[in-house]
Amino acid sequence: MEEQKELTPVRQLFNNKEKVEILNLEELKKTNIAWADLQRSKTTPVAHYELIEQLMTILTEAGQAPVLDHIYVSNQAGGTPLRNIEEQYGGVKNILQAWLLRKVTGKIFIPRLDSTDMQVSIAFAYHDKGIDVAFGHDVRDCSNMSIFGSNILHTYGQNQNVDYQKMLDIIRDWAKDFDAMHERDLAIINKMINTEISKEDAQQFLGKLLLLANASNLNKPVIAPLNVTQVSEVSRGLIQSDYDILETEEPYSLWKFYNDMTYILKADNNDITTLLTDVSEIGNMMVSEFKLLD
C-alpha cells in the first residue's frame, strides 16, 4: 500500500478574535497582496514580505549575519480575509492564504553585537500610512525596543521622511556603521541606567507629555511623543506597576522608567502604526529633559 503523505495543517488567522498573530516569513508570503494598492502607493511600493527580504539581503551583503525574529500581524486598518479566496481553499473561514494584511511588524537581530541583556536590532513596521525602519536595542527581559537620535526612518510624514529607495540606501550605510551606532546607543543607555529619578521627576515628565499631547491637538508646532489616550494608559499602568509613582519613596532608574513606559505602550492592542515612532520620541525626550548628552 502506498504510504499516505502527511497533510499540511490548515493555518487560520484571527479565528478566535485574537488581536495579533505571529507568522514566519514563509507564512507571510502566502497571504494575499493588494498589488493594485502597491502600484499606486509611494509610501508602500513593495509588499510586506518584500520589505523584509530586502532588509535581510542588505544586512547579509554587509556581512552582518542577520536573524529574523517573529513577525507580528494585526487585522486592523483594513486587514481582512477575502471570501472568494477562502472558496478556493475549500471554504475554510479565515484561512491564511485569504488574508489581506496591512499591519506587519517585527525585528531583525544582529547576533554578533548581542550582550547578556540586549540584542542589537533593526525593527520594521509596515502599515496603512507607510513603512518605518529603526535601529536600536531590544531588551531581552521584556522585548522592548530602545531607539535614540535619528535612528528611525519613515516613508511618510514630515519627520525624516524619505522615499523607499532612499530608505534602503540609508540602511546600507547603517549596516557599515553598526559598531559605532551600537556604542553611541550604549553610552546613552548606561547613562539612563545610572540616572536615578524621584517619583516627582516621573510625575513631571508625564505631566509634560500630557501638555504636549494637548498642544498637538490644538495644532501647536510641538513634538508630542504620545497622544492624550496613550499618556492616560501609561500613567494608569505605572500606578499599577511595582513602582507606584504616586506612593513610592524608592529611587527610580531612568532606564527602568523608559522600559516600563514602552512595555505598557506595546502591551495589548497598541497600534503598530505609531509604536516605533513613540518609542523613539520618548527616548529622545528623556535624553533632552534629563540632559544625558554633553
pLDDT in tens, the chain (294 residues): 344 444 457 899 999 888 889 999 999 999 998 887 787 889 999 999 999 999 999 999 999 999 999 999 998 877 889 999 999 999 999 999 999 999 999 999 999 998 888 999 999 999 989 999 999 999 887 678 999 999 999 999 876 689 999 999 999 999 999 999 999 999 999 999 999 999 999 999 999 999 999 999 999 999 999 999 999 999 999 998 888 888 888 888 999 999 999 988 875 456 778 889 999 999 999 999 999 986
Of the candidates 125, 171, 127, the one whose C-alpha atom is nearest the C-alpha of residue 276 is: 125
Question: 99 near 31, Cβ under 8 Å?
Answer: yes
Distances from the Cα of 105 to the Cα of 66, 176, 185, 219, angstroms: 16, 24, 22, 29
What's residue 195's pLDDT? 96
CA distance 107 to 279: 14
CA distance 67 to 56: 8
Amino acid of residue 280: S
Q: How many CB atoms lie within 10 A of CB 116?
A: 5
What's residue 36's pLDDT? 75
CA distance 128 to 157: 12
CA distance 238 to 241: 5
CA distance 121 to 111: 9
Q: Which residues contact 40 (CB under 8 A, 6 or more apart)?
A: none
Of the candidates 99, 70, 68, the one whose C-alpha atom is nearest the C-alpha of residue 82 is: 99
Of the candidates 29, 280, 284, the one whose C-alpha atom is nearest the C-alpha of residue 157 is: 280
First and final CA of the chain: distance in angstroms? 77
